């Protein structure tokens, strides 16, 4: 996979795009639908479904996540033993939450260095550039 233009997207962007009608929500929606090459983890949708359901209800969460999952500019990565091992290592070494450690593991294992996230915790990770909306 050519990773120079690839941007990993965590659940915060999908949630903001689905839930917020303010500037951040509009910027997230624009980014998700218009960035040329995005990638995320299969488990990102668990986080997005959970959060969108709490805020907007189950049907809206399903509808939005189906839209996101069908984006032609989005590749969805599946987990494996290497990602699980990296997640645990990240959780031990970085002070990130398990969820953020997971996103970082997907990025590291797949050679991706750019993430679109609303979480400033990624700003502290060496070698990772966070796209700020």
Question: How far does CA 108 lie from the centroid of its chain?
Answer: 14
* Residue 4 scores a pLDDT above 60: no
Inter-residue contact 38 to 75 (CB < 8 Å) = yes
| Local confidence band at 133 (pLDDT 50, 70, 90 cut-offs) | confident
Computed over every residue of the chain, the mean pLDDT equals 94
pTM of the model: 0.92
Nearest Cα residue to 25 out of 34, 16, 33: 16
Give the SS3 label for residue 77.
strand
As given in the structure block, the two tokens for residue 63 are: 């509808």
Q: In this predicted structure, what is the pLDDT of residue 2?
A: 46
* CA separation for the pair 52, 33 (Å, rounded): 18
């Amino acid at each position: 996979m050519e990773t120079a233009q690839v941007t990993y997207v965590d659940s915060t962007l999908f949630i903001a795009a689905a839930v917020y009608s303010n500037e951040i929500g509009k910027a997230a929606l624009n980014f998700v639908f218009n960035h040329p090459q995005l990638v995320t983890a299969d488990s990102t949708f668990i986080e997005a479904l959970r959060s969108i359901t709490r805020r907007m209800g189950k049907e809206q969460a399903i509808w939005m996540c189906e839209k996101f999952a069908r984006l032609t500019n989005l590749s969805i990565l599946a987990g494996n033993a290497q990602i699980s091992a990296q997640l645990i290592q990240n959780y031990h070494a970085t002070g990130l939450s398990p969820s953020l450690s997971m996103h970082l593991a997907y990025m590291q294992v797949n050679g991706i260095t750019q993430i679109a996230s609303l979480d400033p915790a990624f700003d502290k990770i060496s070698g990772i550039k966070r796209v700020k909306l």
